[in-house]
Structure 1
Amino acid sequence: MQSVIYKRIPQCPADLLAEVAKYPVSDLHEALGPVEGRMQLMSSRMRPIAPGQRIAGQAVTSYNFPGDNLMIHAALNVAQRGQVLVLVNGGGAHGSLWGDVAATFAKQKGIAGIIVDGPARDVAALRELGSLTWSTSISSSHPEKRGPGAVNVPIVCDGVRVDPGDVIVADDDGALAIPLRSLERAVKGARERNRKEIELRDRLKTGSSLFELLQMDKNVQAAGAEIRDTLWIDG
């Protein structure tokens, strides 16, 4: 494998990037639709190292040979303020990809966050630093720094294809990779969902029924469910 490091990523409109940061992963996931939304949502294994974290920014991708993390350093070197590092090693649990020393430098550079499909370590120190890190595993295992690998090429992160420049949004609910071609649609859909949910919560606070507001009776009827005003034991 020929190692390669690309220094640039496609740029997206600043106004869309600013707005996407306002919405939760759940709304953006729903806005992408039932097919693309599932395709771009990382699994429940991808978790933040501390609660209450949230990031949004364009992806700088790093593919690392299993057990090696040379290319995370190359990615960190070319990444710019506000971007998100997406680090992968094929999902292996050995050879930590991310730790507190790299996180210290990332914070100094203004990196928005880190997504790790593989192990992170120095978790207590990362939390103390306020490093906005998501990972699929935790392990102290030693990483080599030999390569091969690549920076800013398409990768697969926790089952999701991530191209350089894709917009990564992550919070307590998980992590989502939004392709640039779908960003405007995701933002528009999340904006509308957010508006409707604000209205819905306001009506619930005044005593309205969620079942009635969502017209769940139609869904129940379509599902063919019988409603019986008896105890289950009475049939």
Structure 2
Amino acid sequence: MSTNDLARGHSSATLSEASGLPVALSPRIRPLWPGARLCGPAFTVQGAGGDNLALHHAVLEAPPGSVLVADVGGARFGHWGEILTVAARQREIAGLLIDGGVRDAAEIQALGFPVFSRNNAIFGTRKDFRGVLGRPVTVGGVVVHAGDLVVGDLDGVVALPASDTRPILDRADARVAHERELMERLREGRSTLELHDGFEAAGR
């Protein structure tokens, strides 16, 4: 399975709280289709609004299992669609996180390819700017470096620093175990107010 055992199955919210760091992207970055989940190391792409040539190059260069993380300035253009999705799946790319617009939502959902974007837009793009690959980019207000662990679900997206991933996952494991204990007490009839201190410790 790898990629830290797919981030050990934790939600973006749990990972954000366990990190203690400003790793949560803007809530304006949303899944393109219900049920989409991102998990993988970032392959960063600095593009330009209204231009998707950088994404074509990124699909060729990104290693299998990586998540393309693209900064196109939040522009409302269809930077990504069905054609790039088919190409990305062929190269075993794990998904796309883009601060900008995408299109062909129904087709991308049918292909099961996870995409998180700032908006949907049908406006076409030019292909002039080759872009820069592998440099830090800002997506959803968070600086993402190549190799950072990206996890996205219905709650949102986090980008965990590569150097801190293991301790963050360990703390997330501990939080989830503690929450399970609290849930059992609730099922035994205890109230949330009685367990207030425990929920505070769990960040709930």
The equivalent residue for 2:11 is: 24
Q: Deviation per CA, 1:173-227, whole angstroms, max 9, x where unpaired?
A: 00101111221221111011111111111221221111111238x9xxxxxxxxx
Query: In percent, how many aligned pairs have the same letter?
Result: 34
Distance 1:92 1:21 in 2: 33
| Native 8 Å contact 2:42 2:69 kept in 1 | yes
| Native 8 Å contact 2:37 2:151 kept in 1 | yes
Any stretches of 5+ residues in structure 2 without a counterpart?
none
Distance 1:154 1:138 in 2: 24
| Native 8 Å contact 2:3 2:40 kept in 1 | no
SS at match of 2:58: helix
1:51 aligns to 2:34 (yes or no): yes
Calculate the aligned-residue CA RMSD, in Å: 1.8
Distance 1:130 1:163 in 2: 26
What is the aligned residue count? 199
The equivalent residue for 1:8 is: none
TM-score, normalised on structure 1? 0.80
What amino acid is the match of 2:107? A
**2:74 aligned residue (91, 112, 121):** 91
SS at match of 2:194: helix
Deviation (angstroms), 1:153: 0.8
Which of these two proteins has the greater Rg computed from alpha carbons?
A: 1
Deviation (angstroms), 1:99: 0.6
SS at match of 1:212: coil
| Native 8 Å contact 2:30 2:156 kept in 1 | yes
The within-5 A match list for 1:25-44 is: 25-33=12-20, 36=21, 39-44=22-27
Distance 2:37 2:152 in 1: 6
**1:139 aligned residue (94, 101, 121):** 121
**1:75 aligned residue (50, 53, 58):** 58
SS at match of 2:143: strand
TM-score, normalised on structure 2? 0.91
Deviation (angstroms), 1:148: 4.4
Q: Deviation per CA, 1:123-155, whole angstroms, max 9, x where unpaired?
A: 111111111111101101111111042111111
Stretch moving more, 16-25 or 74-83: 16-25
Any stretches of 5+ residues in structure 1 without a counterpart?
1-13, 219-235
Deviation (angstroms), 1:15: 5.8
Distance 1:25 1:52 in 2: 13
The equivalent residue for 1:103 is: 85
